[in-house]
Amino acid sequence: MAMKKFLFVQTQPPHGSINGQEGLDAVLMGSAFTECAVLFLDDGIYQILSDQQTGPLNSKDYSVTYLALADYGVNNIYCCQTHLNERSLSTKDLILPVQALPEASIRRLFDEYDVILSF
């Protein structure tokens, strides 16, 4: 049986809840077992915004951990172009290279992966 492919979907902004940080932990763990990809939707995109200043929040700036994804063999990182536009962001504002996809392609992405874990 071919190994199942996992898609981790990040939908929550960072720091307001721990969902994103614990979601990233799951991605890193998943990468040790099988092929994994990450998709940022809605406010989840804010997790990978560059230059986060989290000091005054007493919150860990875990966005830098996303930079390690390549070392873990996680090279397929996607976001929704529409959700970027809605937030006046572009991929240049993000801490790592991300493929911005139109909504129709995101639908295909859900078909392509065997296990989808949404955070």
Partner 1 sequence: MKFAIAVFGAPYSSQASLSALHFAQAVTLAKHELYRVFFYHDGVLNGNNLMVPPQDELNLQNAWVEFAATSKSELVVCIASALRRGMLNAEETRRYEKTASSLDPAFIISGLGQLIDAGLQADRLVTFN
* Residues making contact with partner 1 (CB under 8 A): 3-4, 6, 18-19, 22, 25-26, 29-30, 32-34, 115, 117-119
* Nearest residue to 6 via CA among 42, 20, 28: 28
Q: Smallest gap, in angstroms, from Cβ of residue 37 to partner 1? A: 14
Shortest gap between Cβ of 81 and partner 1 (angstroms)? 25
Which CB sits closer to partner 1, 19 or 99? 19
Which SS3 state, helix, strand or coil, does residue 8 take? Answer: strand
Smallest separation, CB 90 to partner 1 (Å): 30
As measured in angstroms, the least distance from the Cβ of 16 to partner 1 is 14
On whether the CB atoms of residues 10 and 41 are closer than 8 A, the answer is: yes
- Give me the numbers of helices (H) and strands (E) for the chain, helices first please: 3, 5
Closer by beta carbon to partner 1, 26 or else 101: 26
Range list of H helices, the chain = 19-31, 81-86, 103-112
Cβ closer to partner 1: 29 or 90?
A: 29
Residue 76: its H or E element: strand 76-80
Contact between residue 20 and residue 44 where contact means Cβ atoms under 8 Å apart: yes
**Cβ proximity to partner 1, 14 vs 84, nearer residue:** 14
